[in-house]
Each structure stands twice: as C-alpha cells, then as structure tokens.
Amino acid sequence: MSTDSEKTFAAVLTPPARGAIATVAVRGPAAVEWSDRFFTSLSKTPLCQAKAGRILVGNWQASDEDLGEELVVAKLASDYIEIHCHGGVQASRRITRHLESVGCEIGTWQDWTRQKAPDAIVAEAQAALPEAATKQAALHLLDQAQGALSREVVAIIAAIEAANFEIADQQIAQLLQLGPFGLHLTRPWSVVLAGPPNVGKSSLLNKMIGYDRAIVLDMPGTTRDVLHATTALDGWPVQFSDTAGIRQSDDVLEQAGILKAKGALQQADLVLVLHDATNLRPHELDDSLKELPAAVHVVNKIDLATDLALPTSGEMLATSAVTGQGVPELISAIVDHLVPVRPGEGQAIPFTLTLIEVLKQAQQFLQNQQPDAARQRLSDLLSKTSPSPADIA
C-alpha cells in the first residue's frame, strides 16, 4: 500500500456484516471530483461546490441501467468524503468498484488507519482496538493508540544515541515484562477446568460465568468435548474451557475427549484442578494434572463435606458450585494469577508478538554491544513499513 500523498484512497470502514449502514471513506486530492461523477444530490449541489462539513442526500449511479442508490454523503474536508450507504457488503462494494474504475486506490479499514497514524505502533494499536473484549483492555490499547508505547520506544532510541546502554536495556526489559499482559489485551486469558469426572467442573464453570453454558449431569463422563465460554473477570477477558474428566477409560469417545482435555492443559494460562470434597484422593490424580506450570487446586462440593481437613500445602481453595461458597475467592485467585501486575493508566505496553519479538532483538543487540543495530531495530518499529512477523522469524 502506497503512502503517496498525491494518491486518492478509499476504504470501507464498517464490518462486512449485516447492519443498517455501511461507510465508505475517500481521501485524497481527487476524492471530491471522483465522487461527483457518481453522486447526484437531491438539491443538485455538486460536492465540489459544497462547503466542508456539508451533508448531502442523493443518489449514487454509475450508468443508466443502474438503479441508483439513495445515500448520504458527507464532505468532511476539501479532500475527504464519507459515503454512508445501505449496510451489508453489496452497496459499499459497488461504490468502491466505481471509484476504483476511475483510478481510486482501494484498501482495507486497517490500511485506512495505518495511513492516518503518525507511526506504525500507533497504527497497530488502532487496528487492534476492535479486538479488545473488555473496556479495561480497550483503555490500555487506547493508551498505545495515543502513543504511549511509541514515546517509550523513542525514549529508548534516545538513550541508545546518548550511549546510556544500561538504561536502554532496563527500559526494554520493563516493557518486555508487560508482554504477556499486552498480548491478552486482544486475546482472552485461557483458564481450563480439569480433574476427574463428576467433581463439578461443569457446575463450577456455570457458577463462575452465571449461566448454564455446560451441561451438568449426574453420570460421569458427560463433558466429552472441550467447551468454551468467555467472560470478564474483574474487567479482564477470560476464556474458560470445560474439559472431559480425566481418568482411565475404555470408552473410545471418552478417550478422545480425555486426549483433547490434555491438549487444552498445555495451552492454558491457568488450570483449575478440581477435587471432590466427598472423595478426596489427590494421590490418585492423573499424572497430567500433577505437574502443571500454573495451577490452582480447588476442592469442590464442600457443602457436602462435614469435617473436611484441607491439605495446607500448596494453593488449595474450597468451593461449592451449588451454594456458591468460595466462588468469589476463587475468582480473585484466578485474576491474581493471570494479572499479577497491572499497568497504570497511560503506561507503555507491547501488545503484539511482533512488537515483543523486535524488543527482544533490540535487547539482544544491546547485550552483544551492537547499539547501532539495536537502534535500527527500534526505529523500524516506528516507521510506516513496520516489519511483519515473517521478516523477523
């Protein structure tokens, strides 16, 4: 995509989904002239004669056979037109096709944001914003879209240029610490519920998310596939996965479910290992559940246990999926695990794998006494043609 300022460029800004209205934006020296070829306002005012800020209702028509669509055109500046047409993909596609036929360059909404953004990190943040699942995540991305990370990268480059390598190294290390957090601004944290059948995995999931997402049955072995449910815990997007109970089984279908469950354990940011308070047998736990990098052990069905002696070693929480006892504490424990450090308002956060990779490379260059290479890597991040993940592999 060219960034030539002489070019006239159009993009559909709205998603390709069903809705009342779609928006096509056109910017560049020929935006007004080209739109005037197809658009006739009811008042017969051509766009070239309309003042900036004027909104016109009219028809879009490319040929006599064309039905001519009624739409609204806003002239926002002498080189910026916004066309609001019927929703869905057809009307907007017709408009971009017509504009393309007269020489307009057509791009995606991401190209559009990239064009306007002052630097590539800001552009990435703007493109990532729609992926934020919660307000809290969106606010952190908004900080980056407003230049928080760009400013920090500029500061690191300045430190390198001033030969303050140790400071630059520290600044990069601080950013990298927030990498795992940053990646979750666009992708929920993954929490897997695991344990033997019938301990209450599905019931506890339903209790935590507040509605019946998983089928709860009395018969062990009900949850054969991995079920997902995404929710916000304390403002953070979390995807729960309810897995098949892990145990020895001769049932082929159940074995397949167990295999999937074990796969899910590997991908998880946190595993909740459930135990049954009426039948505590931690020593019989499947090997796959014994040595997990991040796990919280939960003893469920405490409402049924009269004199329960909880093992004091390790992290053990007690819940009842029926009465809800212990569930708020469990949710706090989950959030503390997933988000141990919470960046403040306006703080710089790397939020894509590419950003994190390039920061790591810059750090490596600094540690290898190659400050010029480090500086170059960091300025690449800011430049409009930022490296794609493929370039840095």
Per-residue mark of binding to ligand GDP, 182-221 (x: CB under 6 A): ---------------xxxxxxx------------xxx---
Q: What is the CA angle 271-220-228, rounded to 5?
A: 40
Q: How far is the CB of 345 from ligand GDP (least distance, A)?
A: 39
Residue 217 binds what, of ligand GDP, Zn ion, none (CB under 5 to 8 Å, by partner type)? ligand GDP
Give the number of residues in contact with ligand GDP, rule: CB under 6 A. Answer: 20
Secondary structure E strands in 158-218: 189-194
Q: How far is the CB of 214 from Zn ion (least distance, A)?
A: 6
Instruction: Tell me the residue nearest to ligand GDP as measured from the CB.
Output: 200
Q: Report the site for Zn ion in 216-245 (rule: CB under 5 A).
A: 223
Alpha carbons 193 and 270: distance in angstroms, whole number: 9
If one asks whether residue 320 binds Zn ion (CB under 5 A), the answer comes out as no
Which residue in the set 208, 321, 330, 339 belongs to the binding site for ligand GDP (CB under 6 A)? 321
Point out which span in 1-9, 25-33, 157-165, 195-203 binds Zn ion (CB under 5 A): 195-203
Alpha carbons 183 and 175: distance in angstroms, whole number: 12
Alpha carbons 121 and 111: distance in angstroms, whole number: 13
Q: Report the site for ligand GDP in 110-129 (rule: CB under 6 A).
A: none
Per-residue mark of binding to Zn ion, 72-101 (x: CB under 5 A): ------------------------------
- For the chain, the first-to-last Cα distance in angstroms comes to 22
Tokens of 385: 């043609």
If one asks whether residue 301 binds ligand GDP (CB under 6 A), the answer comes out as yes
Q: How far is the CB of 1 from Zn ion (least distance, A)?
A: 48
Q: How far is the CB of 332 from Zn ion (least distance, A)?
A: 24
Cα separations (Å) of 175 from 30, 155, 181, 214, 347? 43, 12, 10, 38, 10
If one asks whether residue 223 binds ligand GDP (CB under 6 A), the answer comes out as yes
Q: Report the site for ligand GDP in 59-118 (rule: CB under 6 A).
A: none
If one asks whether residue 202 binds Zn ion (CB under 5 A), the answer comes out as yes
Cα separations (Å) of 237 from 192, 206, 356? 14, 16, 21
Asked if 214 contacts 202 with a C-beta cutoff of 8 angstroms, the reply is yes
Q: Which long-range contacts (CB under 8 A, 24 or more apart) does 73-76 make?
A: 73/35, 73/39, 73/41, 73/47, 75/32, 75/47, 75/50, 75/51, 76/52
Q: What residue ranges bind Zn ion (CB under 5 A)?
A: 201-202, 223
